[in-house]
Chain A
Amino acid sequence: MVHVVLAGADGREFTGGEGAFDVEATSVRRLILALDQRFPGFGDYVERRMAFAIDGVIHQDAYGAELAPDSEVCLIPKIGGG
């Protein structure tokens, strides 16, 4: 199971305040679908607003990124810059 962590308060309105949970997924796309199934609307929110730190490596908009069974995915706000 992939361990999902919400570092901040962003998105917790969808998760009932939960900040960490386990999800069955082998890719970012499947993770988004699983999150949406578990917390309706959350997958869409994650797609629009969040980046994925997969075992410490930050991915933005990366459906194909693979997840290992013991991966930790930290959801953080998407990052821009100047």
Chain B
Amino acid sequence: MTDVMDRPALKVVGTRPIRPDGVDKVTGRAQFGADFHLPGMLVGKIKRSPHAHARIVSIDTRKARALAGVKAVITAADLPDLASQEYEAGESASNLRDLSQNCMARDKALYQGHALAAVAAVSAQVADEALDLIEVVYEVLPHVIDVEAAMEPSAPVLHAHLFTEGLAERPATASNIAKVNRLGRGDLEAGFGEADVVVQGRYTTKAVHQGYIEPHACVAQVSQDGQCQVWSSSQGQFMVRTYCAKILGLEIADIRVTPAEIGGGFGGKTTVYLEPLALALSRQSGHPVKMVMTREEVFRATGPTSGAVIEVKLGAKQDGTIVAADVVLKYQAGAFPGSPVGAGSMTALAAYDIPNVAITGYDVVTNSPKVAAYRAPGAPISAFGVESAIDDLARELGMDPIVLREKNGVVSGVKAVYGPTYRDIGYLETLKAIKDHPHYAAPLGPNQGRGVAVGFWFNVGGESTAAVHVNEDGSAVVVTGNPDIGGSRASMAMMAAEVLGLPVEQVRPIVADTASIGFSMLTGGSRTTFATGMAVTQAAGKIVEDVKRRAALIWDTTVDKVAWESGQAVCLDATKSAVKPLTLAAIAAQAGRTGGPISAEVSLNAQGAGPGFAVHLCDVEIDRETGHVTVVRYTAAQDVGRAIHPAYVEGQIQGGVAQGVGWALNEEYIFDADGQMENAGFLDYRVPVASDLPMIDAVLVEVPNPRHPFGAKGVGEAPIVPPLAAVANAVRDALGVRMCDLPLSPPKIRAVVDGLAS
């Protein structure tokens, strides 16, 4: 496995070639989900609930169906009524009943924006008119959105069938608490008994959206013979295929899904909303149907991540040894169970070696959109609480915050709080990178403060397929089944080029549809460069073995007397001293004579992903008049294993920081008393733009993962974990007051400043 990594000099891996998708994107030629058109295509639109919680008494679609230009109208009655069943598609199991009812409400509307019916019409105008003609009778029910309010026994219950999992005994009554997770070790009481210093805090975060620029969009077509095609932007075309088949009761073999270019996903496109409805509308109408969400629909009806309450209590000895930690996490799941509180629990203390620990997590359904994955799902939330408390502990002890983290930091061989024993991790190296960085010792100006925080993400592997085809001229095509959401095409081409010995410009990476490449789990969990990259590397390795065999045939020698060096076959047979090396182009030109086309495909289930640690350093400046917080300097170090394309890795880190800063300072779902989201647009839901941020200095720490041929670790998720706390700790440093409730928006800062003044 490590033979490639151990090569003395890599020629392609670690360099910064121009991205293969760059020209199309900057010239506007890239085809995103909304760009696809078919002749006779209809426009599909969705009727959505205006109520946060309501029983659907009746839906009358007769007037809509009678409107000229309307070709199809569907409700949940047009979809199979699925039983509760967990099914694995994409990366982990989903409950098919919940998934279906999130796409289209059946008996109850569970959040404002929940889909109730859909129409397909000859124009957007006619479709809108038809939506207005659909008559829905509601029995409006009390709603609950706040996570702790939803946990109360007196709260309106969303699902009569939901009984809390994870309790010693099955409860007698239904509850909004879907599950209780418990994680721990040691003796918490004894641990706190040993402590010289105890700090504790209660922290809150609001629901925030992934904020991808491209709204959900798809085109679906069902032919008269039942063959279905879908073109959509998602994080996994195979995930779309499976979920559509299950939700509609179709055969997987009858569905072909072609991935469009994707304008951001960040986890939010790891599920389906439109595709099954577009297929159902196409099936009914006999026409292709295009559906594109508005930005408002994206906010109201697709998954944000959880709002949460985090309670943290830490105990430490005077020398800084942390002896006990008690963490309670309460996460909104939205309308159906499945918040990321499990991952939040496992990551909360993953950077610390603490003997006595208890972590309790609550997964709580609420009358808000079902949460979806968002970069390192759950981890930024728990890290916000823990890293804020660690910062307070450092102040209480009078210790440098990095020294405190070094003293308690995990190393290889230490058992993680969540169970496994760490191997090949680079946490202390990453802490050192920040401690040694000039930023750490740089002076601060007036009204400025500095914060440190760390983050952890597991990274995953999983099932991937890759094919490598050598063209007649010796160039190559790399085919994978993973949408490129963060630069994976470049890294796939680079790994293939490295093994084949080709210039990377001669390797064209392609993302194929579901009929053109074997199954791959979706792009998520920071798995693609690791797992699909492993498949690409192995496929390229098979090509090398094949061309060595062909060279031996050409030279009339044996394959053990052929070496592959710098992209050409070299003859080691002493009796053939006159022969010259054969390039891949030369061998490809004789492919027909040596066995036919040169091609290889590898399918695997990659195991042994290496976890990533991130350490961030943030300086803020507070405008005491307006309450505005400006991030004036930011340095982010991360153990990346080995950076295949360092510029892309830096981009992942910078993007994670930008999103985390938005989460910390501005972003939040705001609901009115009726459960209506009040800020469903980018004017009122404020994501950071380039002018809000300084240049983010990304520091790559390379501690290779020996289980990947080039040592890669996933890099896309760890960088969003620390920023919430790094910003909050910097604000604490600037103001002298701990602020525990995100976002740290100007009104909240002003209230603190005013309080200090008075």
Interface CB pairs A-B, < 8 A, 24 = A7-B420, A53-B420, A57-B420, A58-B460, A58-B608, A58-B609, A60-B462, A60-B605, A62-B605, A72-B421, A76-B346, A76-B419, A78-B93, A79-B346, A79-B458, A80-B373, A80-B377, A81-B91, A81-B375, A81-B717, A82-B267, A82-B270, A82-B375, A82-B716
Q: Mark A52-79, 1 if CB is under 8 A from B, else 0.
A: 0101111111100100000010111111
Q: Mark B698-725, 1 if CB is under 8 A from A, else 0.
A: 0000000001000000101100000000
Interface presence of B461 (CB below 8 A): yes
* Residues of B contacting A72 in the complex (Cβ-Cβ under 8 angstroms): 421
Report if A81-B419 is in contact (Cβ < 8 Å); known contacts: A9-B183, A57-B707: no
* Residues of A contacting B707 in the complex (Cβ-Cβ under 8 angstroms): 57
Interface presence of A8 (CB below 8 A): yes
**B166's contact among A9, A56, A76, A79, by CB below 8 Å, is which?**
A9
- Asked if B607 contacts A65 (CB within 8 A), the reply is yes
- By beta carbon, the residue of chain A nearest B461 is A60
Bound complex: CA of A78 vs CA of B462, how far in Å?
11
Bound complex: CA of A78 vs CA of B707, how far in Å?
19
- Asked if A82 contacts B183 (CB within 8 A), the reply is no
* Residues of B contacting A56 in the complex (Cβ-Cβ under 8 angstroms): 420-423
- Asked if B608 contacts A77 (CB within 8 A), the reply is no
- By beta carbon, the residue of chain B nearest A63 is B605
* Residues of A contacting B716 in the complex (Cβ-Cβ under 8 angstroms): 82
Interface presence of A5 (CB below 8 A): yes
Interface residue range, chain A: 20 to 34
A7 to chain B, nearest CB (A): 3
Partner-binding segment picked from B240-248, B287-295, B521-529 = B521-529
- By beta carbon, the residue of chain B nearest A28 is B607
B662 to chain A, nearest CB (A): 15
Interface presence of A38 (CB below 8 A): no
B7 to chain A, nearest CB (A): 24
- Asked if A81 contacts B525 (CB within 8 A), the reply is yes
- Asked if B526 contacts A8 (CB within 8 A), the reply is no
Given pairs A60-B462, A61-B605, A81-B459, 12 additional interface contacts (CB within 8 A):
A8-B182, A8-B183, A9-B182, A53-B420, A62-B605, A72-B421, A76-B418, A79-B346, A81-B91, A82-B374, A82-B375, A82-B377
* Residues of A contacting B270 in the complex (Cβ-Cβ under 8 angstroms): 80, 82
* Residues of A contacting B93 in the complex (Cβ-Cβ under 8 angstroms): 48-49, 78
- Asked if A81 contacts B607 (CB within 8 A), the reply is no
* Chain B stretch 363-396: residues in CB contact (< 8 A) with chain A: 373-377
* Residues of A contacting B180 in the complex (Cβ-Cβ under 8 angstroms): 9
- Asked if A7 contacts B418 (CB within 8 A), the reply is yes
Bound complex: CA of A57 vs CA of B420, how far in Å?
8
* Chain B stretch 455-486: residues in CB contact (< 8 A) with chain A: 457-463
A12 to chain B, nearest CB (A): 9
* Residues of B contacting A53 in the complex (Cβ-Cβ under 8 angstroms): 419-421
- By beta carbon, the residue of chain B nearest A65 is B607
Across chains A and B, the number of contacting residue pairs, with CB separation under 8 Å, is: 116
- Asked if B423 contacts A60 (CB within 8 A), the reply is no
- By beta carbon, the residue of chain A nearest B169 is A13
Bound complex: CA of A5 vs CA of B166, how far in Å?
18
Bound complex: CA of A59 vs CA of B364, how far in Å?
29
* Residues of B contacting A48 in the complex (Cβ-Cβ under 8 angstroms): 86, 93
Report if A79-B86 is in contact (Cβ < 8 Å); known contacts: A7-B183, A8-B183, A57-B423: no
Bound complex: CA of A55 vs CA of B346, how far in Å?
18
Interface presence of B342 (CB below 8 A): yes
- Asked if B181 contacts A9 (CB within 8 A), the reply is yes
Of B180, B342, B462, B714, the most chain A CB neighbours within 10 A belong to: B342
* Residues of A contacting B589 in the complex (Cβ-Cβ under 8 angstroms): none
Bound complex: CA of A53 vs CA of B377, how far in Å?
20
Bound complex: CA of A53 vs CA of B421, how far in Å?
8
- Asked if A81 contacts B267 (CB within 8 A), the reply is yes
Q: Write the residues of chain A forming the contact surface with B, with a CB cutoff of 8 angstroms.
A: 5, 7-10, 48-49, 53, 55-62, 65, 72, 74-82
- Asked if B527 contacts A81 (CB within 8 A), the reply is yes
* Residues of A contacting B459 in the complex (Cβ-Cβ under 8 angstroms): 81
- Asked if A79 contacts B525 (CB within 8 A), the reply is yes
- Asked if B607 contacts A62 (CB within 8 A), the reply is yes
- Asked if B460 contacts A80 (CB within 8 A), the reply is yes
Interface presence of B154 (CB below 8 A): no
A75 to chain B, nearest CB (A): 8
* Residues of B contacting A76 in the complex (Cβ-Cβ under 8 angstroms): 346, 418-420
Q: Mark B200-241, 1 if CB is under 8 A from A, else 0.
A: 000000000010000000000000000000000000000000
Bound complex: CA of A62 vs CA of B608, how far in Å?
11
B70 to chain A, nearest CB (A): 38
Bound complex: CA of A78 vs CA of B423, how far in Å?
19
Report if A78-B182 is in contact (Cβ < 8 Å); known contacts: A8-B418, A60-B461: no
Interface presence of B345 (CB below 8 A): yes
Interface presence of B299 (CB below 8 A): no
Q: Mark B316-359, 1 if CB is under 8 A from A, else 0.
A: 00000000000000000000000000110110000000000000
Interface presence of B266 (CB below 8 A): yes
- By beta carbon, the residue of chain B nearest A76 is B419
- Asked if A81 contacts B524 (CB within 8 A), the reply is yes
- Asked if B346 contacts A81 (CB within 8 A), the reply is no
A51 to chain B, nearest CB (A): 9
Interface presence of B92 (CB below 8 A): yes
* Residues of B contacting A49 in the complex (Cβ-Cβ under 8 angstroms): 93
Report if A82-B525 is in contact (Cβ < 8 Å); known contacts: A10-B181, A58-B608: yes
Bound complex: CA of A51 vs CA of B525, how far in Å?
14
- By beta carbon, the residue of chain A nearest B611 is A58
* Chain B stretch 622-671: residues in CB contact (< 8 A) with chain A: none
* Chain B stretch 48-71: residues in CB contact (< 8 A) with chain A: none
B182 to chain A, nearest CB (A): 4
Bound complex: CA of A76 vs CA of B342, how far in Å?
10
- Asked if B346 contacts A58 (CB within 8 A), the reply is no
* Residues of A contacting B461 in the complex (Cβ-Cβ under 8 angstroms): 58, 60
B431 to chain A, nearest CB (A): 21
- By beta carbon, the residue of chain A nearest B372 is A82
* Residues of B contacting A74 in the complex (Cβ-Cβ under 8 angstroms): 419-421
Bound complex: CA of A48 vs CA of B420, how far in Å?
19
- By beta carbon, the residue of chain A nearest B345 is A8
- Asked if B181 contacts A80 (CB within 8 A), the reply is no
- Asked if A82 contacts B346 (CB within 8 A), the reply is no
- Asked if B418 contacts A58 (CB within 8 A), the reply is no
B414 to chain A, nearest CB (A): 10
B344 to chain A, nearest CB (A): 11
Of A57, A58, A61, A80, the most chain B CB neighbours within 10 A belong to: A80
* Residues of A contacting B91 in the complex (Cβ-Cβ under 8 angstroms): 80-81
* Residues of A contacting B420 in the complex (Cβ-Cβ under 8 angstroms): 7, 53, 56-58, 74, 76
B251 to chain A, nearest CB (A): 23
- Asked if A82 contacts B717 (CB within 8 A), the reply is yes
A47 to chain B, nearest CB (A): 10
Q: Mark B170-193, 1 if CB is under 8 A from A, else 0.
A: 000000000011111000000000
**A82's contact among B181, B376, B462, B605, by CB below 8 Å, is which?**
B376
Bound complex: CA of A79 vs CA of B373, how far in Å?
12
Bound complex: CA of A75 vs CA of B422, how far in Å?
14
- Asked if B419 contacts A5 (CB within 8 A), the reply is yes
- Asked if A79 contacts B343 (CB within 8 A), the reply is yes
